[in-house]
């Protein structure tokens, strides 16, 4: 299951306690203090892992505790510190304070790390309290508790290209045709209930990452339908590709669909509306689609590239691929 939001209660490790101990050596009548300090508690560290695409690993977790430090030992032995707990999350994960909603950190780079909760300091053994006046201190201190916080993790996918369109426009078929990813496809709305990611590789081995965003409907910016849950995944794409169904089997007007999609994007975020975009008229293989496509092209006044394709029969995809390569800064390291 695709999970893009979880709430976690995090506890860093408690420091180990210091101890009271005495040096016991043969022929040494006054051995003196020898109690070691406790070890530091473990930190909780988040790390962005490019291999992860969802927060699924944390869906059934609510409380996460890091390892405590060990108590000090005799002979001034330092207690073992707790092993830091590294939580791997997808690139694009926002760490937010669950109570205030304030963004604490945004993990946008591959292998980026962020220490969120620091472990508590270890307690002091009685050796620490030895002075010229107090040669046999009989006191120690407990370790400090580690930091704790309740956080909300929110995933916003980072992709080069985001496929946007109404349900059943053919986005899943298109991403399957462009990339090697295999997704669920069926002739009814809302087949895609979560974003799919796929890599489009070119002949020079450069690549772009494509995200198939679940179908948007009118008033999605008001959180109608799947709404904001998936509009947010378009925010970090470099280029938008509007996939328009020109089959018009259910009597829909493809051009009105395009205008509605543009309005939804603009209503949600003006910055998103200003992103470069490509328009794709899909399902040219359907009867009367040619005539509908011509009507659309007459009304279309934008300077953004327009392509007529059939994702099902893989017609017109080569020119679309080249336009994607030209529009998006391609990456050789994905």
Predicted confidence at residue 219, as pLDDT, reads: 46
The lowest-confidence range among 51-60, 177-186, 309-318 is 177-186
Is 80 exceeded by the pLDDT of residue 189? no
pLDDT tens sequence across 235-289? 888 899 999 999 877 778 899 999 998 988 888 888 888 999 999 999 998 888 8
Domains for the chain: give ranges and CATH numbers: 1-155 (2.70.210.12), 161-327 (3.40.50.300)
Is 90 exceeded by the pLDDT of residue 123? yes
Q: Give the mean pLDDT of the chain.
A: 86
Predicted confidence at residue 197, as pLDDT, reads: 80
Distance between CA atoms of residues 162 and 195, nearest Å: 10
Query: For 50, how many CA atoms within 13 A lie in the half-sphere containing its CB?
Result: 9
Q: Can you give the three-state secondary structure of 137-191, one letter per residue? A: CCCCCCCCCCCEEEEEEEECCCCCEEEECCCCCCHHHHHHHHCCCCCCCCCCCCC
CA distances (Å), origin 311, targets 169, 215, 257, 272: 10, 17, 19, 25
Is 50 exceeded by the pLDDT of residue 188? no
Is 80 exceeded by the pLDDT of residue 88? yes
This prediction has a pTM of 0.75
Is 60 exceeded by the pLDDT of residue 227? no
DSSP 90-151: ETTEEEEETTT--EEEEE-STT-EEEEEPPPPPPPPGGGG--SS-SS-----PPPPPPEEEE
- Residue 209: phi and psi, rounded to 5, are -95, 125
């Amino acid at each position: 299951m695709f999970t893009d939001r979880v709430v976690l209660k995090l506890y860093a490790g408690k420091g180990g306690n210091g101890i009271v101990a005495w040096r016991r050596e043969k022929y040494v009548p006054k051995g003196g203090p020898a109690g070691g300090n406790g070890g530091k508690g473990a930190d909780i560290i988040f790390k962005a892992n490019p291999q992860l695409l969802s927060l699924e690993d944390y869906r059934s977790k609510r409380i996460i505790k890091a390892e405590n430090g060990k108590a000090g030992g005799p002979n001034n032995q330092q207690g073992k510190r707790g092993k830091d707990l590294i939580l791997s999350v997808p690139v694009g994960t926002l760490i937010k304070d669950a109570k205030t909603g304030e963004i604490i950190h945004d993990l946008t780079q591959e292998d980026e790390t962020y220490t969120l909760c620091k472990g508590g300091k270890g307690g002091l053994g009685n050796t620490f309290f030895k002075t010229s006046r107090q040669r046999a201190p009989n006191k120690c201190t407990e370790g400090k508790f580690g930091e704790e916080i309740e956080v909300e993790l929110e995933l916003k996918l980072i992709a080069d290209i985001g496929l946007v369109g109404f349900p059943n426009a053919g986005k899943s078929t298109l991403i399957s045709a462009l990339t090697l990813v295999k997704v669920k496809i069926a002739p009814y709305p809302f087949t895609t209930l979560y974003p799919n990611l796929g890599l489009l590789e070119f002949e020079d081995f450069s690549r772009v990452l494509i995200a198939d965003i679940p179908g948007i409907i009118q008033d999605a910016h008001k959180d109608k339908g799947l709404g904001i849950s998936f509009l947010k995944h378009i925010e970090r794409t470099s280029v938008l590709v509007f996939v328009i169904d020109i089959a018009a089997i259910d009597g829909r007007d493809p051009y009105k669909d395009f205008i509605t999609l543009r309005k939804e994007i603009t209503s949600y975020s003006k910055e998103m509306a200003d992103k470069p975009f490509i328009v794709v008229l899909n399902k040219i293989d359907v009867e009367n689609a040619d005539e509908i496509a011509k009507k659309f092209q007459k009304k279309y006044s934008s300077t953004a590239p327009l392509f007529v394709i059939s994702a099902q029969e893989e017609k017109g995809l080569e020119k679309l691929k080249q336009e994607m390569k030209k529009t998006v800064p391609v990456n050789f390291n994905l």
